[in-house]
Structure 1
Amino acid sequence: MYKYAILQLFCLALIGFACADNINKDAQIRSFQNEASDAEGNYQFAYETSNGIQYQEAGNPNGVRGALAYVSPEGEQISLSYTADEEGYHPVGDHLPTPPPVPAYVLRALEYIRSHPSAPAQKDQ
């Protein structure tokens, strides 16, 4: 079942590349490496295109790791690395949004709750 999730992730990435507006339709593949899946399920591939897209991925039944780089329509260099395992998909990149910092009053409230545990409820007899 996990292999199907990896296959779906790969297919979605390819569809995303095909549908992206900034992809030059005349781009050519400059290099392509593909190591087909072995008996244990290990695989690896990488490619680079003439318009600057670089993509690589390696995986096995326990997880996947990969990276991609390209230039956005705004001219920004985008670099993304990721892992995918039983815990989910974990992307890392400077262009990804980050959550805002936790407000100080929330941190104080959490510390108060931690330092003042509630008494266990007693059952009526």
Structure 2
Amino acid sequence: MNSLVVIFMILGCALAQQRPQAQPLGKVISILKQLYDLSPDGSFQWSYDSENGISASEQGSVKQIGNEAGVVVQGQYSYPSPTGENVVIQYIADENGFQPQGSVLPTPPPIPEAILRSLAYNAAHPEEDDQHQKPGPGKRY
């Protein structure tokens, strides 16, 4: 039994010393065009195009949002899909969050007709909502 333990320990040490071969890196993709500009007022713009069809650009500026300064940006990126289609995503990021647009992004299903009628009815009859907001004398929810 002890000899088996010693054999497995020696085998384990021998295997632990073997190092896996480094995997070769993929093809290096060259940047064909790259621009970057930062202004003293905090505004900026950058862009790049690569040889594999990927490109991106963005412009941003400082904006006063409430009591704080924030950055508002808009930009786009594009890449070739596996099917060969050129995918383009445009976006705005501001006080309302990140807002992307593009033909490949999922969209919510349409609102059912019954829900639309209900919303229209509620908007046309706000007084019914007011009656249910405040309990009358001696009434509880």
Which TM bucket (shorter chain)?
A: 0.7 to 0.9
Equivalent residue in structure 2 for 1:114, among 99, 102, 123: 123
Partner of residue 73, structure 2: 64
Cα distance, 1:44 vs structure 2:
0.7
**Higher Cα Rg: structure 1 or 2?**
2
Cα distance, 1:110 vs structure 2: 1.4
**Which of 26, 29, 53 is 2:28 aligned to?**
26
- The equivalent of 1:52 in structure 2 is 53
Task: Give the Cα separation in 2 of the matches to 1:25 and 1:91.
Answer: 30
1:52-82 alpha-carbon deviations (Å, 9 max, x no partner): 1111111012300101111012322100111
Aligned residues: 101
Match of 1:124 in 2: 137
Which protein, 1 or 2, shows the higher relative CO under an 8 Å CA cutoff with sep ≥ 6? 1
Residue-by-residue CA offset, 1:8-67 (whole Å, 9 max, x unaligned) = xxxxxxxxxxxxxxxx742100001111x2221111111100001111111012300101
Q: Percent identity?
A: 37
Question: Tell me, which stretches of 5 or more residues in structure 1 are unaligned?
Answer: 1-23
1:113 match: secondary structure: helix
Unpaired runs of 5+ residues, structure 2, are 1-25, 64-71
1:73 and 1:101 map into 2 onto residues whose CA distance is 29
Deviation of 1:122 after TM superposition, in Å, equals: 5.2
* Aligned-residue RMSD, C-alpha: 1.8
Question: What is the distance in 1 between the residues matched to 2:81 and 2:42?
Answer: 33
Instruction: State TM-score, norm by structure 2.
Output: 0.65
Partner Cα separation in structure 1 for residue 27 and residue 122 of structure 2 = 57
Rounded Cα–Cα distance in structure 1 between residues aligned with 2:136 and 2:98: 44
